[in-house]
Amino acid sequence: MMKFKPNQTRTYDVEGFKRRAACLCFKNETEDEVLLVSSSRHPDQWIVPGGGMEPDEEPCGAAVREVYEEAGVKGKLGRLLGIFEHNQDRKHRTYVYTLVVTEMLEDWEDSVNIGRKRKWFKVDEAIRVLQSHKPVHAEYLHRLKGTCNPTCTPMCGPANGNGLSSHMTDDDAPHYVVCSTHCSDLVSR
């Protein structure tokens, strides 16, 4: 199903959830500093860059496109952290990936069009900042702490590149889905 809105097509899955994708953008492989962007609705608040998937777009492609548009960054796409559901007012299903930033544009689409800003935060600080305005975004970072990063030992996950990823819902009851940890190599537009 699709719903049209100016300059955007909203896509929904068969269960009526809006299809979304996002990336936790990190300064390097240690994943200790994350890039947040200012909210378009509340410019004094910070959010994780992400947004709706376009028709026929894969989640990993949507995540890369969204961080390019909202944060003006390119990088190496990493693992799928999980699929997070937000069910209260609007039904969203968001695929959240990691991305190590390799390039930051000085000017990018949302900085020029809406004055969006970006800022690096230590992960714990980012969780505190997100908790009041976007608690579901804070949950992405909480989930990060329970997953493997690329620099951890091989005991963290299967050698074939596939693993379990958390599927979170509003009631905090985890559901697990099998996911691939890689969608593409170096991402560039």
Task: Give all domains of the chain, ordered by start, each with its CATH number.
Answer: 16-144 (3.90.79.10)
- State how far the Cα of 122 lies from the Cα of 107, in Å rounded to an integer: 23
Q: Where are the beta strands (DSSP E) in 18-133?
A: 18-26, 33-38, 46-47, 50-52, 73-86, 92-104, 118-122
User: Which residues belong to the active site?
Assistant: 69
Give the angle subtended at the CA of 143 by the CAs of 101 and 125, to the nearest 5°.
Answer: 65
Tokens in use for 47?
């959010």
Question: How far does CA 36 lie from the centroid of its chain?
Answer: 10
Task: Determine contact, residues 20/92, Cβ cutoff 8 Å.
Answer: yes
Q: What is the pLDDT along the chain (189 residues), one digit of tens a residue?
A: 433 444 567 788 888 889 999 999 999 999 999 999 999 999 999 999 999 999 989 999 999 999 999 999 999 999 999 999 876 667 889 999 999 999 999 999 999 999 999 999 999 999 999 998 899 999 999 998 776 665 443 323 333 333 333 444 444 433 333 333 334 333 333
pLDDT value of position 133:
86
Task: Return all residues near 92 (Cβ < 8 A) that are at least 6 apart.
Answer: 17, 18, 20, 84, 85, 86
Give pLDDT, residue 88.
Answer: 65
